[in-house]
A and B are shown apart, each in its own frame.
Chain A
């Protein structure tokens, strides 16, 4: 039975989305999100709007740790729109582990001012609608989104198309070199490789922009951008 569910989720996303809409207590943004079909794999990437996303979390394990901030930006016509960039602080309703404070420069006080997880997710649903999500290293964002959906709405797996700049690079590397060294795939290293500027700041919005620029560079390296379709990425 569980296997069947996964088959439906994978191969019949429309039915899966419809079935999720029957769940109780869904928020309005989530209903809107689920009512909108996912972008077709045959769409030209030039015509797709991408939501580039970055989470800062208290740790790697989505079931134990919390999201503390969300940064995102939008790519339209293969141009990053600075005006679309946002940074949301999320109140995790728990004390932060000390060691993270120095990395993210977010203190408990900052986070007390943040929005609740539910509000943050609602904003995310509304900006994810009709868009393809792009992240660097999708384990974090995918797991935390799914965990939040489970926690808030008993949805185990949110239907979405998520591209991972790390995987795009890894695939390309394995094609050309056959092996990959872990460190070579860090955002910083990859940006350097594509002659992208070095950023000092380390926060969700700046990292989302950094990822978006990397994505634009990767796409441009794939060939004649005007003819590339989503499934080729």
Chain B
């Protein structure tokens, strides 16, 4: 009987993130474990040198104002974040817990391991470790030198006059210069010095610059990373750092340079998209999209803001491809609207998904005259999207399909057909083609068409009933006894499908109510909010559904963010082992809300008469 045969090891193996640890790592780990017990109500003394794990029971964490911060249950860790150690940790139940010396623990798992990342994710405060994550995947990993605007470093001798330096800085439009004494770096002058040390005290500008420079400035070696520069700036409260190689200033890096280089910044990505001229360039930028999601999650961004950012980049890639196509094939002969459908239309993309798009052409459309142009345009854009990771739609809902590249009149007849004879296929199309957004061309073509369509859907209660019935297809994965109904994710892990069984039912409910109340918003949360305003849903019902949507989506984003970090392919099947017990409880609550809402919808739209 060896220590590794103990049940502790089974427990550790089934505790995140140690499920990824090797037996060789677990064996020494078990030996380091110390076990303690505190009864309910007792406050735990958190020692900074230890990592803690709840074995049984529950630990309540409250901040200095006694505001609830978190409740931890079995298999959850605490004490990893030193900032949180100051918070009060008390036993909410009788609690058996393990503690492990941090030094030994982290010696077993290197910086790159999932175990290490796990604790960084878990840390809610922006700790230095959290910044390491950004460092790995963004341009901040690059050396400071590559990030500075290279030709921006100006070096002057300390005897140069203040006025000469001022002229130079103004001419070259720089905010700082490096000062040397016999070619050796000795100081720095920033624009601020001209304010505080010259103008404010009325100093004669013929004085040498050495009089106002900051002596022996803090500098950074050329090979250091952007993140180190950022930390150094934060620590010292400065915004300019000379970059030094062999004691010579070879560049200067500013806080603004670093900000601009944060590749996960959505503004940065869209800017890059807007200046790209080829599909290849777009392809490179598009690779950053998953990081946008991951960093958004790491930075505790709101779920809505994350999906909105990801969708914005998707939209701008569409737009840029169309611009490129118009350059290649010439100006369009007639007005057209490039319309996207699905999650992109709803601004709910969380990663690269299939492309769904269509073309609405003005009624001047004549296939013999214009067919070739729009066929080529559609081909270019759809191919481009496919290359960028927005793969071809398996259902063929794309503008390269002639059926979905039609004049307003033809589209009108399509909609009339779906609304008046809602067979299963029509309903499937309806659920796709009621989430539309024109992102390029002449938006009025779509807008006017949809105004007609919405007038019809509002009046046609039979169509509404069919749509409602269709929206009951996917049910939340909650069993009779509030147990999860799990699916296999392919590697034998019991999982929850948080797209089909989680988000989709809510999206469908929101669409049905939007159609029947003439709500024109396309985003699910937007639809629910507007529905509450026009009385289509009760304010509290809409609010609950939004909260449920946000929570389910956040768990899904967390899952995908973890997959991105570990270079796995992204899916929507979240193994329950990844979900903390508290989150599982909240998920069940969220699913119950959705189930109740589906039931309410069934009775309201009398879907049972359709059976």
> CB within 8 Å of B: which residues of A?
69, 71, 78-83, 85, 87, 89, 194-197, 199-201, 203-206, 209, 212-213, 216-217, 220-221
CB of B36 closer than 8 Å to a CB of A: yes
Given A79-B99, A85-B6, A203-B1, A194:B34 Cβ within 8 A: no
- Judge whether A209 and B6 touch: CB under 8 Å: yes
- Judge whether B7 and A82 touch: CB under 8 Å: no
- Judge whether B31 and A82 touch: CB under 8 Å: yes
CB of B141 closer than 8 Å to a CB of A: no
- Judge whether B35 and A212 touch: CB under 8 Å: yes
- Closest chain B residue to A200, Cβ basis: B7
Contacts of A205 in B (CB 8 A): 1, 3, 6
Bound Cα distance from A78 to B37, whole angstroms: 9
CB of B453 closer than 8 Å to a CB of A: no
- Judge whether B36 and A79 touch: CB under 8 Å: yes
CB of B32 closer than 8 Å to a CB of A: yes
Chain B 93-114, CB within 8 Å of chain A: the 1/0 string?
1111001000000000000000
List the 3 closest A-B pairs by CB distance, nearest first.
Answer: A87-B1, A80-B35, A195-B94
Bound Cα distance from A206 to B55, whole angstroms: 15
- Judge whether A216 and B56 touch: CB under 8 Å: no
Contacts of A199 in B (CB 8 A): 7
> CB within 8 Å of A: which residues of B?
1-3, 5-8, 11, 30-39, 42, 55-57, 93-96, 99
Contacts of B57 in A (CB 8 A): 195
- Closest chain A residue to B6, Cβ basis: A206
Given A82-B3, A195-B56, A220:B35 Cβ within 8 A: no
Residue with the greatest number of chain B CB neighbours at <10 A, chosen from A194, A216, A220: A220
Given A197-B96, A206-B6, A220:B56 Cβ within 8 A: no
Bound Cα distance from A113 to B571, whole angstroms: 52
- Judge whether A217 and B37 touch: CB under 8 Å: yes
Q: For residue B18, give the distance in angstroms from its CB to the closest CB of chain A.
A: 15
Contacts of B96 in A (CB 8 A): 195-197, 213, 217
Q: Write 21 A-B pairs (CB below 8 A) sorted by A numbering.
A: A71-B1, A79-B34, A79-B36, A79-B99, A82-B3, A83-B32, A89-B1, A195-B94, A195-B95, A196-B56, A196-B96, A197-B55, A201-B7, A203-B1, A204-B1, A206-B7, A213-B35, A213-B37, A216-B36, A216-B37, A217-B37
Given A194-B94, A200-B7, A220-B42, A82:B36 Cβ within 8 A: no
Bound Cα distance from A191 to B7, whole angstroms: 15
Contacts of B2 in A (CB 8 A): 87
- Closest chain B residue to A205, Cβ basis: B1
Residue with the greatest number of chain A CB neighbours at <10 A, chosen from B3, B11, B99: B3
- Judge whether B39 and A217 touch: CB under 8 Å: yes
Bound Cα distance from A221 to B37, whole angstroms: 10
Contacts of A85 in B (CB 8 A): 3, 6
Q: For residue B72, give the distance in angstroms from its CB to the closest CB of chain A.
A: 15
Bound Cα distance from A69 to B1, whole angstroms: 10
Contacts of B11 in A (CB 8 A): 197
- Judge whether A217 and B32 touch: CB under 8 Å: no
Bound Cα distance from A69 to B6, whole angstroms: 16
Contacts of B31 in A (CB 8 A): 82-83
- Judge whether A79 and B35 touch: CB under 8 Å: yes
- Judge whether A82 and B34 touch: CB under 8 Å: yes
Q: For residue B3, give the distance in angstroms from its CB to the closest CB of chain A.
A: 6
- Closest chain B residue to A88, Cβ basis: B1
Q: For residue B394, give the distance in angstroms from its CB to the closest CB of chain A.
A: 47
Contacts of A195 in B (CB 8 A): 56-57, 93-96
Bound Cα distance from A83 to B34, whole angstroms: 8
Contacts of B95 in A (CB 8 A): 195
- Closest chain B residue to A75, Cβ basis: B35
Residue with the greatest number of chain B CB neighbours at <10 A, chosen from A85, A203, A216, A221: A85
Contacts of B32 in A (CB 8 A): 82-83
- Judge whether B94 and A80 touch: CB under 8 Å: no
Q: For residue B100, give the distance in angstroms from its CB to the closest CB of chain A.
A: 9
When the two chains form the complex, which single residue of B3, B7, B8, B35 contacts A216, counting CB atoms closer than 8 Å? B35
- Closest chain A residue to B36, Cβ basis: A79
- Closest chain B residue to A217, Cβ basis: B37
Contacts of A87 in B (CB 8 A): 1-2
New contact pairs (8) apart from A200-B7, A220-B37, CB-CB < 8 Å: A82-B30, A82-B31, A82-B32, A83-B32, A195-B57, A213-B96, A216-B35, A221-B39
Contacts of B37 in A (CB 8 A): 194, 196, 213, 216-217, 220
Contacts of A204 in B (CB 8 A): 1
Q: For residue B610, give the distance in angstroms from its CB to the closest CB of chain A.
A: 50
Bound Cα distance from A216 to B36, whole angstroms: 7
Q: For residue B480, give the distance in angstroms from its CB to the closest CB of chain A.
A: 26
Bound Cα distance from A71 to B11, whole angstroms: 20
Bound Cα distance from A213 to B99, whole angstroms: 14
Contacts of B94 in A (CB 8 A): 194-195, 217
